[in-house]
Structure 1
């Protein structure tokens, strides 16, 4: 069995182009669920907003970097973990927050703003932490990753669809309201289908190497959910807000990570396996956590506070 750093998973150019289109369509769907009030709402919840942004874009990548130093996985696995930590949240976090009896308004607003911030923050974060990694940096040097090129790619599949979605809300609101839900469902199912296809097409590699990443993914995901929860509690946010932030930080858009891995890293083995396993485990862990919270009452009466929910 070849070392995981030496394998390249297969995903043909036509399929990759289609996957880019599906992901752009998914971001367009997120934008259709976004309103200017989502951004204004966060201004009325400055502490929750600051904690959520700091946990996602500052603490989680740093904690992930520390985890890779402790576990000492192969360089490509370490880079995969760092890339996933730098990804923005997916809109499945909004569904899970609702299930967990958390602040859905905060979750929806954070998803919108975080995806906008990720256009710039994601390539910078990955270049910084990946370049700092003692073994991963050597692999990055051999690949000659260009953060500007990654930024342009993220802008194409996140930024432009997001702006187009906001324009649709502004100028064709009737159409938007009618089609946003089916568009969101179709795009999400298509993305899941492509992740399944990527795994199925490289099933032998996933069987050979899943054991190398499963424990790391489970620990990493647990730390991601925990980071959001601990930060929220440290800031003395309500249970209502804390549940939303925990899920918002814990759910990462592994589909975007997979697109970037095939686009910029030629399907590099450890990175692709991490993203594929994360894509499924993250949803399973989120469902388990949300289900557990759904059976537990909220502390206090935070859900009734003015300004906390709309």
Structure 2
């Protein structure tokens, strides 16, 4: 290609147009030493737009000269700033699709992590209990980063489903865990672990299970968030009520730990979501996947440390833990059904009731209970909850298809 400086100056340059709300102005630079013209073209209302048209000279083998033009443009309509650049828009769309599909495989990732922790525990020897607590905080942060105050507006408009979910989480499940523990005749360590599991807040993966089951995802997010925030007060109170005569519990220390692990990361995420919306808009598609990775870290860290005890206590704890989640899910579905709530709300309440946060109960068991057996029900719940919830969600999804066809 010939040297660009050999071309006439009037062929090298660029043009751009700026259109504003009421007036369209065109500025043209015809050469590097050329003159500038600013002309008012119209007084019509058109969308705001910024165009760049760049021309570069090209010489063929036959000696023919022509110009290759490349146009870049950005525009916005109304108050919505939409990036119209094809490459960046397509890349961001691909990024959202990949992270969404990876997140939907959450049950598979969790089951794989559980099997690795059970049969190859040596791979995770370096994972400490403190790092599990940090991973749980990252999970809570990923939840809070997708929330804003306006997400709680539907709760004020329709409080009954949220109230039923709160009752299911902090009344039904704790009493159900007490009943199952006493019926099975657990000693004080397993009993305390079951009570702790029944008193913790709902699990964050319930939102994904609700989506798979064709429930009300917005309601699920609101219920999970409210139960998580309320755990700072409800968990110490219920633990003192049910375990105070069995194992000494410091309500203040338990509240402090819950606030550090749960409340602070969620509030930090909400703060960033409100103060840096553009940054969070870019990060938001990946945040659920970050939560999945943090959950997997908690899974392998918890199970690898109690692998021998889990395999040895399979006949003792597996059935009671599964029964706790299963009966909670059934009760969470039929109680709202009897109250006349619609199908989507019933499914959401069912999943929110049966879904607990075993990673949180495991971390709290490590921090506040010296007895090793207290963490065992939580570890078993980590192992069985993800496959059970995934299976339950898929069944509800197929039932939804049949109902819609009929």
TM-score, with structure 1 as normaliser: 0.85
Q: Does 1:102 align with 2:205?
A: no
More helix by share: 1
Which has the higher mean CA deviation after the structures are superposed, 213-222 or 181-190?
181-190
The question of whether the paired residues in 2 share the 8 Å contact of 1:39 and 1:113 is answered with no
Which has the higher mean CA deviation after the structures are superposed, 249-258 or 27-36?
27-36
Alignment of 1:99-178 (within 5 A): 99-131=212-244, 137-138=245-246, 140=247, 144-178=248-282
Separation in 2, partners of 1:291, 1:44: 30
Counterpart for residue 260 of structure 1 = 364
Return the offset for 1:12: 9.6
SS in 2 for 1:58: helix
TM-score, with structure 2 as normaliser: 0.65
Counterpart for residue 69 of structure 1 = 182
Unaligned runs of 5+ residues in structure 1 are 1-10, 132-136, 302-310
Q: Deviations over 1:9-59 (max 9, x none)?
A: xx9998122122111111111111222222111112121111111111122
Separation in 2, partners of 1:177, 1:110: 23
Q: Does 1:284 align with 2:387?
A: yes
Q: Which has the higher contact order (CA 8 A, sep 6+)?
A: 1
Which has the higher mean CA deviation after the structures are superposed, 157-166 or 174-183?
174-183
Separation in 2, partners of 1:195, 1:295: 29
Separation in 2, partners of 1:187, 1:42: 24
Alignment of 1:39-54 (within 5 A): 39-54=152-167
Q: Give the direction of change, closer, same or farther, for the CA distance of 1:14–1:219 in structure 2 (3 Å limit).
A: closer
The question of whether the paired residues in 2 share the 8 Å contact of 1:62 and 1:129 is answered with no
In structure 1, which of residues 174, 186, 193 is the aligned counterpart of residue 297 of structure 2?
A: 193
In structure 1, which of residues 214, 218, 226 is the aligned counterpart of residue 318 of structure 2?
A: 214
The question of whether the paired residues in 2 share the 8 Å contact of 1:239 and 1:299 is answered with no
Q: CA RMSD in A?
A: 2.1
Separation in 2, partners of 1:231, 1:23: 31
Q: Deviations over 1:104-125 (max 9, x none)?
A: 1110111111111111111111
Q: Does 1:272 align with 2:385?
A: no
Separation in 2, partners of 1:127, 1:169: 35
The question of whether the paired residues in 1 share the 8 Å contact of 2:125 and 2:304 is answered with no
Separation in 1, partners of 2:211, 2:290: 20
Separation in 2, partners of 1:247, 1:177: 28
Number of corresponding residues: 281
Counterpart for residue 231 of structure 1 = 335
Divergent runs of 4+, >4 A: 11-14, 298-301
Counterpart for residue 205 of structure 1 = 309
The question of whether the paired residues in 1 share the 8 Å contact of 2:165 and 2:353 is answered with yes
Q: Deviations over 1:129-172 (max 9, x none)?
A: 223xxxxx33x0xxx32011000010011111111111111100
More strand by share: 2
The question of whether the paired residues in 2 share the 8 Å contact of 1:55 and 1:231 is answered with no
